[in-house]
Amino acid sequence: MSIEADILLQEAKESIEAAQNYKTELQQRLQDLNQARKQVKGSATQTREVLKQHFRDLGGVLTKLLDERLASLLLEVDTIEQNSIRPLDDCQKLIEQGVGTADELLREGEAALRCSIGGKDDKLCSFTKKALQIQLDSLPEVPSLVDVPCLSAQLDESLLGVLRERIFSHGTVASHPPVQIDELTERPGGIQVRWSHYTFALLQVDDEFAAQDYRLQYRKGTSGLFEDVYVGQDMEYIVLHMDPNMDYQFRVCARGDGQREWSPWSIPQVAYTTLAPHEWSTGTEGYSLSSRRNMALRNDTALSRGVVLYSKAPTYFCGQTLTFQIITAGQVDKRDSIGVCVECVNGQETLQRDRAVCISTNGAVFVNGKEMTNQLPPFTMGCIVTFDMEMVNLYPVNNNLEGGSHKLRVTIGSGSREVVFDWLLDEPCDSLHFACSFAYPGWKVLVF
C-alpha cells in the first residue's frame, strides 16, 4: 500500500472517530434537552397543582371566615332584639293587666247601677272604694319610638374592592429561583453544600434581588418531607449526622431584605457521602462523649494530669478539611492541644510529641514535638480550628531530608489567621488519627 493510501486511510479513520464523537456529543445534548424539557413540564405541572390547591384552600378559609363573621353578626342582632323586646313585653303585660282590671271594674259599676233601691247604696259605696284603691289616674309609661332600638346593618362596601385588589395581586410565578446549589462535597458523615445567588431570577422584579437570609433543607432519599437544617446569611453549610452511602436531597431558598416570604426553592440536588463520620474513641478515662461520639468533654475526674483522647479510627485523609470547634473552654495548661497523629500511643499526657502536629490552647503550633515560631490566636469558646493537608511527594526524593523522606504540606487555621508548614515523615501515610489532650475539666470539643 502506498504512502498516499496510508494517509487517506488514517484520515478516514480520524474522520470516522470524529463523526462518532460528534454523534455522541449530539446524543448527549439531546439527552440534556430532554432533561430540560422534562424539568420545565414537570415544574409547570407541579406549579399548577400548587396554585390550584392554594386557591382551593384559600377559598375554603375565606368561606369559613365569612360564615363565622355572618354568624357572629346574626348572634349580635338576636341579642339586641331579645334585650330590647323584653322590657316592651313587660310593659305590655302591665297594660293588659290594667285593661283587665278596668273591664272588671266597669262590670261591677254597671251592676251596682242596675241594683234595686234597697241594696243600691251599699253596692255603689263598695264600688267607689274599690275604684279609689285601683288608682285609675296612674298609667304605665310607654317608651317613645326614638328611645327603642331600630336595628340596621352597616357594611363597608369598599371591602370588596380591597379584596379584589389583594386577590388579583396575590401570588407570583417565577421562572428561576434566586439561588441554586452549586456544589455538594462529601465530608466524613456529612455533605458540604454551597450555593450561589442569581440576580435575574424573579420575573416580577426588575431591580437586583438582595438576599438577607438563606434557608437550606434536606431529606433522606427522594421522598418524604424536607426539614430545615440551616437558616442564616452564609452561602455554605456542612450537613452532619448523615448515613454513609445513602442518597439525600437538598434544596435552598432566599429571603429578600425586609421581606417575610421566602423565594421559590432551588432545583433539588441529590448527593451522598462514602466517608465514615469522625468519632472519638470510647473508654478513655477523663472524657465523656456525646451519643454520636463526635463531641468530647473533659470531665471532672480524679485525674490530676493530662490525657490524650484519640479518634476511633484513622478517618482523616489528605485533601480533606478536618474541623474542630471549641464548644466550652476550661483552665489552660501548656500541654493542652488538638491535632493529628500517625498512630495512637497510650499513656501520653500530651499530643506534643513525635509523629504528630498540633496546636495548643494558647495558639502555639508543634510539629513532631518541636514548637514553631509562628503562633495562632489562643482558644476561646466557639472558636474553630481547621487542619488541611496535601501530599507533596509520595516516594522518597531526598534521603538527606532531616527528619524524614515523605512530606505533607499542612495548613492550620484559627480565626482569621493560618500557618503553613511541611511535615516530614519516615514513611507515607494514607490516613491519620485526630486527637486532643486537656489537663483540666470543662473543655468540650466537636470534630467534623
* pLDDT, tens only, 221-280: 878 899 999 999 999 999 988 888 999 999 999 998 878 888 889 999 999 999 888 999
CB 360 within 8 A of CB 399: no
Residue positions counted in the chain: 448
Confidence bin at 12 (pLDDT 50/70/90): confident
CA distances from 411 to 143, 365, 388, 419 (A): 96, 11, 5, 6
CB 367 within 8 A of CB 360: no
> Residue 93 above 90 pLDDT?
no
Backbone angles phi, psi at 73, to 5 degrees: -65, -40
Confidence bin at 137 (pLDDT 50/70/90): low
Confidence bin at 110 (pLDDT 50/70/90): confident
At 201 the pLDDT is 43
Question: How far apart are the C-alpha atoms of 79 and 434, rounded to whole Å?
Answer: 77
At 322 the pLDDT is 93
Question: How far apart are the C-alpha atoms of 186 and 244, rounded to whole Å?
Answer: 10
At 199 the pLDDT is 57
At 302 the pLDDT is 61
Output 48 or 133, whichever has higher pLDDT: 48
Number of H-type helices and E-type strands within the chain: 3, 21
Percentage of the chain with pLDDT > 90?
48
Confidence bin at 119 (pLDDT 50/70/90): low
How buried is 255 (Cβ within 10 angstroms: 0-12 exposed, 13-18 middle, 19+ buried)? middle
> Residue 198 above 70 pLDDT?
yes
At 442 the pLDDT is 92
Q: Which distant-in-sequence residues (6+ apart) come within 8 Å of 48 by Cβ?
A: none
Q: What are residue 270's DSSP bridge partners? A: 249
At 209 the pLDDT is 65
Predicted confidence (pLDDT) per residue in 15-53, tens digit: 899 999 999 999 999 998 998 898 889 888 988 998 999
Question: How far apart are the C-alpha atoms of 197 and 202, rounded to whole Å?
Answer: 12
* E strand map for 125-282: 179-187, 190-197, 211-220, 227-232, 236-239, 248-256, 269-271
Residue range 440-444: mean pLDDT, rounded: 93
Predicted confidence (pLDDT) per residue in 337-366, tens digit: 999 999 998 888 899 999 999 999 999 999
At 401 the pLDDT is 43
Predicted confidence (pLDDT) per residue in 359-389, tens digit: 999 999 999 999 999 899 999 999 999 999 9
How is residue 47 written as a grid cell? 406549579
What count of other Cβ atoms lies within 10 Å of the Cβ of residue 100? 10
**DSSP string for 355-420:** TEEEEETTSEEEETTEEEEEE-PPP-TT-EEEEEEEEEESS-S-TTSTT-SEEEEEEEEETTEEEE
How is residue 257 written as a grid cell? 431584605
CB 422 within 8 A of CB 409: yes
**DSSP string for 329-369:** -----TT-EEEEESS--TT-S-S-STTEEEEETTSEEEETT
Residue range 189-216: mean pLDDT, rounded: 73
The CB-side HSE value for 211 (13 A sphere, CA atoms) comes to 26
At 235 the pLDDT is 94
Query: What is residue 303's three-state secondary structure?
Result: coil
- How is residue 147 annotated by DSSP? G
Round the average pLDDT of the chain to a whole number and report it: 86
Question: How far apart are the C-alpha atoms of 411 and 418, rounded to whole Å?
Answer: 7
The sign one gets for the Cα dihedral 201, 205, 206, 209 is: negative
> Residue 395 above 90 pLDDT?
no
Output 309 or 39, whichever has higher pLDDT: 309
Report the range out of 73-87, 88-102, 202-216 with the highest average pLDDT: 73-87
Residue range 79-91: mean pLDDT, rounded: 88
